Structure 1
Amino acid sequence: MDMIRIEATDRSPEVVFDFDQGRFTLSGESYPEDSAAFFAPLLAAVRTYLSDEQPKPVTFDLSMHYFNSSSAKALMNLFQDLEEAAEQGWPTTVNWHYHPDDDTMAEFGEDFALDFNHAEFRLCPTPETA
């Protein structure tokens, strides 16, 4: 699969999905006018990647400063796909990067982490996300 690279805008995150390396990154802010339209092709690409019969390690890095409720729903859908892949034998790690002083993003990460039983979900306080 071809790499997906989308530059960040005022309302949408930077996206780097490197399928060859199994590394996926979302960073910045996410409150696009139409979250479903923004995230649908990304979710479809991840689902296609995870449909491969040979499990490969997957690392997903999120460094979000802000996201709206419709983006949260898209992230939840993405996380469900990653959790299902992990349950099927895909070694999966989600790294939730947030500034140590950002209690809101820390709490969102803690909430999302509760939905993971098979994938590894790491809370990563990192000053670089400021």
Structure 2
Amino acid sequence: MIGIDVCLGRIIEIPGARNVTLVDADSGLAVAAVGRHEPADQHEVAATTTDVVRAVLTCTGLASADPADDIDEVIICGTSGYHIMKFVGSDFGARLFVHILFDDVTGNLGMARFQLRSILAEFTPSGPRATI
């Protein structure tokens, strides 16, 4: 199992990653953050992305037909980049997600998702938890 700093350090190395924030979904605060371009107020980013995550999870129209199927990732695509919000399992009871901003010039959504899944599996072997 890898630590938070190593985890975020590896995520920011994914091609196209610009900012990475580990967010406590209960409080909406940034637990940790790293950035490569245009420093942002990570606590503001954490609060607004928490609102998005909560809205998605409470929207019955986005629920799967299978009641056992949980949402484990939210992807938002824009004209010049995309955001991935991936839920992170936690052995200490916190409800966490990682928010990554990618640019679309050097980023590749499919590869980013594949690499992110691999890194987070090393960070928390317990898997994602989307109960927010």
TM-score, with normalisation over the residues of structure 2? Answer: 0.30
Q: Which has the higher helix share?
A: 1
TM-score, with normalisation over the residues of structure 1? Answer: 0.31
- By relative contact order (CA 8 Å, sep 6+), the higher-ranking structure is 2
